Amino acid sequence: MPCHISTRYRLLLCWLLGLLACSPKAAPDVRTEQRKTAKGTLYSLFYPQNLAVRVVTSRPNPGDSQYWLSVAAAYTDLQTSQPLDLLVCGGRVLQSKAKVGFLDGSLTILGNTLTIGQLPKGQSPPSAQLAQVRAGHGTLLLQELLVFRGKNLKAAGGSVFQRRALAEFANHRFAVVESTSNYLTMKQFADDLLELGAQNALYLDMGDWDEGWYKRQGRVVALGNRRTETARQSNWLVFASPAP
């Protein structure tokens, strides 16, 4: 009898595994969530569902079915109108070293692996890291680091704006987080990101450069409140359908 029961359970397990293998994958989508902090500040969180997170230097077309979300990523150099300290994009070296002295965070994309890292302000990533990203046809950009390893890195004070970040939560789950408020300092924003559960968070260009969008049930929904420098944006963080 025990042998008979064991065989029965093995057959049942094989049937369940086969059923799971034949189940269709979830469709690509942007899952949205509204979260409010204890102080009442409201945030929108955008999670990629079966979508790849990429950085591009050509403006994403909302009519292109591969793109599901688009927001500004690295800062734009006001003198050259080129991405500021976007060192490697798609394996192509755009800059050999960092130009400005205040960026202390990095986003590295290799395949489908995203890494938010820290580096000394104004310094370039190690040459070995640049070579690895280039060889892997990846992307490496520098930005302001808000949260790293569960710690707020921003001092009090400074200007107030609507804020947006790429945040990493538990289990390496990433989301774009955007405030509804136009009156947040960097420190307040980082405090809120920690409260929302972010372990690491990299700032994304905002202010007059805040134009973005995502798709909800086939409809394009605008992001950002100012959108006055949209024409001068030079690079974008996107959620895109993975290559077949």
- Per run of 10 residues, the mean pLDDT along the chain (length 244 residues) is 48 48 70 98 98 98 97 96 95 92 96 96 93 97 98 97 98 98 98 98 97 96 96 97 84
Sheet holding 42-49, edge to edge: 29-36, 42-49, 173-179, 164-169, 200-203, 145-148, 151-152
Alpha-carbon radius of gyration of the chain: 21
Cβ 194 vs Cβ 152: under 8 Å: yes
pLDDT in tens, 217-234: 999 999 999 999 999 999
Given this model, what pLDDT does residue 237 score?
A: 98
pLDDT in tens, 63-95: 999 999 999 999 999 999 999 999 999 999 999
